[in-house]
Amino acid sequence: MIRFTAYNMPKIELHCHLDGSLSPALAARLLKDAGEDYTVEQLEHLLAAPMNCGSLSEYLKCFDLPLLALQTKEGLFLAAKDLALAAAKEHVVYLEVRFAPSFSTKQGLAVRDIIESVNNGLKEAEKEADILTSIIVCTMRGLDMETNLSMLKEAREFLGAGVCGCDLAGDEKTYPTADYKELFSYAKKNGMPATIHSGECGSTENIRAAISLGAKRIGHGIAMAGDRELMELCAREKIGVELCPTSNLQTKAVTDFSTYPFVEFLRAGIPLSINTDNRTVSDTTLTDEFMRLADAGMLNDAACEKVYKASIAGCFCDDDVKQTLWKKWASLFAI
């Protein structure tokens, strides 16, 4: 068991989707404004994926209603603020929130307005709680290249002013990572750090493609378990892997938690972070994710410190913020 407990230690979350973390209470309010009448109790059921979810594509169906709610400046602002404040309550001291601006344009909002609204919500939360935040913008599998690239160009204007990096998300099995070379060529040329969802659906080739496209972190990366060469590559190149235990069980990235590769990856020297992925869809918190690993005998004090240090090293914030994050851990544990 973790000596200091996951409940009171500072934590860093690098893989958390805004739409997948929309609380049922706020969703009910925003959906009502959009002309859709749901009770909080109904949304508690509709927004959460079951543990026996059949696949990633089934899991992704839970995002339809949240996306409907995130089509206004107010909705985006409130969702971002609410998420950051919820994270702060469980001692998350740094949060990288990711979302797809292109999915919030259905009522005519411009990408610039969308990003500004989310950023404003996060900064408002920073005023009220002990948390620092950044935005990762998601390009989406299945969207045309023009839409994805246009969004990325708009988001580039916010780099260092709210936005810290970019991602590729969506149905990895249907849309291979290698098909998105043009997007990440642009990101690399324009100094945008990248993390890419890969290896969630059993494909090591998608992980290799993500690394070749310049990804500094891999979202999930579960498929590399047992692939010594690929694990050594990630360790050598310091490619971070963003693990999301509960989500990985739901999407069948792993079928049995006893085989979860946290210890295997840690021993291989891969920089690891622990994350929720989607707090509402997976009905979880970051504390829950730490405790799931601890209860399975995979996490102890030393591993917690390794994860925290690796999360600092891998986050897309500036060095001043990284120093602040390390001091929070060091001062608490008198290091």
Which residues are catalytic, by number?
Answer: 200
Q: Which helix (H) or strand (E) holds 219?
A: strand 217-220
Q: How far apart are CA 238 and CA 8, in angstroms?
A: 28
Q: What is the CA angle 221-222-227, rounded to 5?
A: 95
Alpha-carbon separation of residue 108 from 63, 101, 245, 306, 320 (angstroms): 20, 12, 36, 44, 37
Query: Which 3-state string (H, E, C) describes 112-140?
Result: HHHHHHHHHHHHHHHHHCCCEEEEEEEEE
The answer to whether 137 touches 166, Cβ cutoff 8 Å, is: yes
User: From the DSSP assignment, how many helices (H) and strands (E) are in the chain?
Assistant: 16, 8
Q: Of 16, 17, 83, 90, whose CA–CA distance to 287 is shortest?
A: 90
Give the Cα separation of 19 and 181 in Å (integer).
26
Are the C-beta atoms of residues 285 and 243 closer than 8 Å to each other? no
Task: Give how far the C-alpha of residue 296 lies from the chain's centroid of Cα atoms, to the nearest Å.
Answer: 23
Token pair listed for 138: 């998601």
User: What residue has token string 């799931």?
Assistant: 292
Burial category of 108 from C-beta neighbours within 10 Å (exposed 0-12, middle 13-18, buried 19 and up): exposed
Cα–Cα distances (Å) from 329 to 13, 68, 129, 291, in that order, read: 14, 39, 17, 18
- Three-state DSSP state, 99: strand
Comparing CA positions, the residue from 1, 4, 3 lying closest to residue 332 is 4
